[in-house]
Structure 1
Amino acid sequence: MRTTMKLDGADLLDLARGAAFLGTGGGGDPYVGRLMVQQCLDDGLTVEVIDPLDVPDDALVIPTAMMGAPTVLVEKIPSGEEAIASLRALEAHFGRRAFATMPIEIGGINSTIPLVVGARLGLPIVDADGMGRAFPELQMETFGVYGISGSPLCVTNEYGDSALIHGRDNKMMEWLARGAAIRMGGCAYIAEYGMSGADMKRTSIRNTLTLAMRIGRCLREAKDRHENPFDALLRLLPDTPYSYGRIIFKGKIVDMRRETRAGFSVGRARIEGLEGWDGLMEIEIQNENLIARLDGQVRAIVPDLICIMDSETAEPITTEQLRFGQRVTVLSVAVPAIMRSPEALDVFGPKGFGLTEPFTPIESIV
């Protein structure tokens, strides 16, 4: 049995920062999620994170999350009861209790929603997720890539309205759930991909919650030591499954276009070079940063991470927080091998977003 981790307030600060980095701009506001978990701690509840290898093979694991446009979340703060109601509905459907919950993605608020659910229900939270970053659609999970059905899915809003959705495949499940979330105000809270412990271990990206905490701690401690936090982060990455990263641009945001469309936050950021970096970088967004082009040439592309960070503070900036005039540093990071397989690229590689450019690993882009 591996040692379980009981999170405290300092862990939450590091987790929120690291999850915002891994989320590549998406997954919802990490500040909101951190406050929700802190309230659980203030109420005397325990947030217990367990290693995925400690989950029994026959246990039921039910991931929980927010779905919808992150821009809506900023104005429609959840209580946590929405995701709990969705998990309870799936338990009723399966006729058994969940052993644990877990994130579907390691980004923004979706790294913390399961912590709230686990604390409120007395469930452990598995230190793993199904995206290794954030993606905008529910079929874009390694669970589904490697054979797990996301159905049934339950989606619930803040008024207790809910829908139990069965899709003929994971893409149809996403399409139906997206329609429900739109009609629930643009974002809602879900439980999906109920699976066995054995399937969770086979299909998940492991230990991403603790990785997010390591990243957040690395940035914080580097700043405390008055060191360059970007250099410290790039030194950390080779010791993780995200084995390579580099700065691909520095500049000032000179144009930011964003709208909520079909349940997604979509847009484009334009960044003009500063500090010896020439040219104009454009980053396309669908909840997350999908592709970075410098003067029309690809510098990073999904599923590799494209992380926009404040040049002064080294804080990751989510897509809904991007503003004209911000001085930013753009990093790209290689994702784990499980996310670069042909099966994975068929689902959440460039063509999954309608991009015409092929996937090229960040290590190979000159």
Structure 2
Amino acid sequence: MRTTTEPLRLITSDDVAPLAAGAAVFGTGGGGAVHTVQLAVESALAAHGPVRLLRVDELGPDDAVIIMSAIGAPSVGIEMLGASAQAATLLSEVERLIGRPVTAIMAAEIGGSNGVSPVGWAAALGLAVLDADGMGRAFPQATMISMNVVGLPSEFAVMSDVVGNVTVLRTVDIAWLERHARAFTVAAGGIAIGAHYLLTHETAPGAVIEGTVSRAIEVGRRLIGSSDPVAGIADELGAAVLVTGKVVDIDRMTEGGFTRGSVTVQGIGADRGRLVRIEIQNENLVVIEDGVVTVSVPDLITIVDSETGEAISTELLRFGQRVSVLAWACDPLWRTERGIELAGPRAFGYEIEYTPFTAAGAATAGEGAAVEEATR
């Protein structure tokens, strides 16, 4: 068993449960529930052996990294499992397009199942996993990725569904990629997998968020090993616990390839009398209390089980659940002008200005931006 002080160079079966737990936390409600994919990845590692975890500074001139992820509504992903040949089909088409072997896979987002699945795909395909991702969390749209923030273009995308249909997309920009990829996903039944953004030792540095796979494993180990999981992960993340209570209302639907809606948490114990609403589009986007926005994207908002600390994805929220709502600061890349343009509240239709969240300032939540009920 590896100790927490040793560098993580191979992802083994011992790392999968912590990775899943940490990725669920970074998923901010999205990226897909991790329970099923955890089993799939454990099975892949048992069959094919450990996967090498490759740092960005270890990439060489012969390395070719491809981003792979699922796309669609997380609520659909619960019931529609992937086909066994999907990843291999995707890889084969990518290698045909680029004319060279792919050597590593990177997660588009470290959040949710999309932060875990690449390990299983890499094991089955004999590839490494890059210790990085494109979001440092989960976001619902293809445009909301670090490579787009820094201006790195995506020259192509390949998508595959569970039936075996394969589509190659060459769009004028990533905003058009989002439109076409979402249309393919809806036609595929609401869930598909895709690959895009060929990365090399020249293009990856500065364009990706580094160390996020090993970071998710660290957070998961802290959660699993803590006698007070909520306090443990809040401390690990530098997060604030905004409210502890129970879910008293859920408004949720699947439309246009997204899970959209809101959830209301009624405070209990020391938070009795408080009502906090969280707006969602696959991920938790905005926290509103007394008509005031206290936290918003791109900062991270995660709803966890109050007893176990296990993150609850938006599609698994249920009336009566006892939950705690955590919030913490996003990667600095998302607080740049371009980052806020792509993934701030206005990108989701909220007519409010982004105010950077700090755990120290959470006690003064009443100073947040007022929001009207009909802002979206």
Aligned residue pair count = 355
- Residue 346 of structure 2, aligned match among 338, 344, 351: 351
Cα offset, 1:358, TM superposition? 1.2
Q: 2:211 aligns with which of 207, 226, 250?
A: 207
Are the equivalent residues in 1 in contact too, given 2:23–2:216 (CA < 8 A)?
A: yes
Distance (whole Å) between structure 1 residues aligned to residue 269 and residue 92 of structure 2: 52
Which is worse superposed, 192-201 or 164-173? Answer: 192-201
> How far apart, CA to CA, are the structure 1 residues paired with 2:354 and 2:320?
30
Match of 1:36 among 20, 37, 40: 40
Aligned to 1:190: 194
In the alignment, which residue of structure 2 is the partner of 1:273?
Answer: 267
2:60 corresponds to which residue? 56
What one-letter code is carried by the residue in structure 1 that aligns with 2:150?
Y
Q: Secondary structure at the match of 2:277?
A: strand
Query: What is aligned with 2:171?
Result: 167
Give per-residue Cα distances to partners, 1:321-340, cap 9 Å, x unaligned.
Answer: 10000010000011121121
Quote the offset at 1:97 in angstroms. Answer: 1.1
Q: TM-score, normalised by structure 1?
A: 0.93
Instruction: Note the alpha carbon deviations across 1:334-366, whole angstroms, 9 max, x for none.
Output: 112112111111111111111112111111552
Does the Cα contact within 8 Å between 1:25 and 1:288 map onto a contact in 2? Answer: yes
Q: Give the alignment's Cα RMSD to 1 decimal.
A: 1.5
* Distance across 2 between alignment mates of 1:284 and 1:81: 36
Equivalent residue runs for 1:199-278 within 5 Å: 199-223=203-227, 228-237=228-237, 244-277=238-271, 278=273
Q: Is 1:12–2:16 an aligned residue pair?
A: yes
Give the superposition deviation at 1:84: 2.9
Identity fraction in percent: 35
The question of 1:101 aligning with 2:88 is answered no
Shift of 1:279: 1.8
Distance of 2:37 and 2:349 partners within structure 1: 31
Residue 56 of structure 1 aligns with an amino acid whose one-letter code is G
Contact 1:4 1:50 in 2 (8 A): no
CA distance in 1, matches of 2:132, 2:150: 15
- The 1:348/1:80 distance shift into structure 2, 3 A limit, reads farther
Partner Cα distance (2:328, 2:191) in 1: 28
Pair 1:323 & 2:318 matched? yes
Query: What secondary structure, in the 3-state scheme, does the structure 2 residue paired with 1:101 have?
Result: strand
Contact map agreement 1:101 1:124 (CA 8 A) in 2:
yes
Q: Secondary structure at the match of 2:49?
A: coil
Counterpart residue type for residue 314 of structure 2: T
Instruction: Give the equivalent residue in structure 1 for 2:301.
Output: 306
SS of 1:203's partner is coil
Q: Distance in 1 between matches of 2:332 and 2:240?
A: 18
Gaps of 5+ in 1: 238-243
Once the 2 structures are TM-superposed, how far is the Cα of residue 80 of structure 1 from its aligned partner? 4.7
Residue deviations 1:94-143 (CA, integer Å, cap 9, x gap): 11111211100011110122112211111100010001100001111001
Looking at structure 2, the residues matched to 210 and 88 of structure 1 have their Cα atoms a distance apart, in angstroms, of: 28
53-62 or 129-138, larger mean C-alpha shift: 53-62
Q: What's the CA shift for 1:38?
A: 0.8
Which amino acid letter does the alignment assign opposite residue 287 of structure 1? N
Of the structure 1 ranges 179-188 and 30-39, higher mean CA displacement relative to structure 2 is found in 30-39
Partner deviation per Cα, 1:139-178 (whole Å, 9 max, x = no partner): 1100111112223101101121010011111000110011
CA distance in 2, matches of 1:86, 1:352: 30
* Aligned residue type for 2:141: E
> Could you tell me which of 130, 134, 137 is aligned with 1:133?
137
Quote the offset at 1:4 in angstroms: 5.9
- CA distance in structure 1 between the aligned counterparts of 2:39 and 2:279, rounded to whole angstroms: 29
8 Å Cα contact 2:230-2:307 kept in structure 1: no
Deviation at 1:57, TM superposition (A): 5.2
Distance in 2, matches of 1:180 and 1:168, equals 17
Amino acid at match of 1:318: S
Residues 170 and 102 (structure 1), Cα distance of their counterparts in 2 relative to 1, 3 Å cut: same
Counterpart amino acid of 1:250? T
| 1:255 alignment partner AA | D
1:23 aligns with 2:27: yes
1:110 pairs with 2:104: no
Which whole-Å CA distance do the structure 2 matches of 1:99 and 1:342 have between them? 33
Contact 1:248 1:299 in 2 (8 A): no
Matches of 1:271 and 1:231 in 2, distance apart?
19
Tell me if the contact between 1:5 and 1:49 (Cα under 8 Å) persists in the aligned partners.
yes
Which string of whole-angstrom CA distances, capped at 9 and with x for unpartnered residues, describes residues 50-88 of structure 1?
112111256321010000000011010114531332232
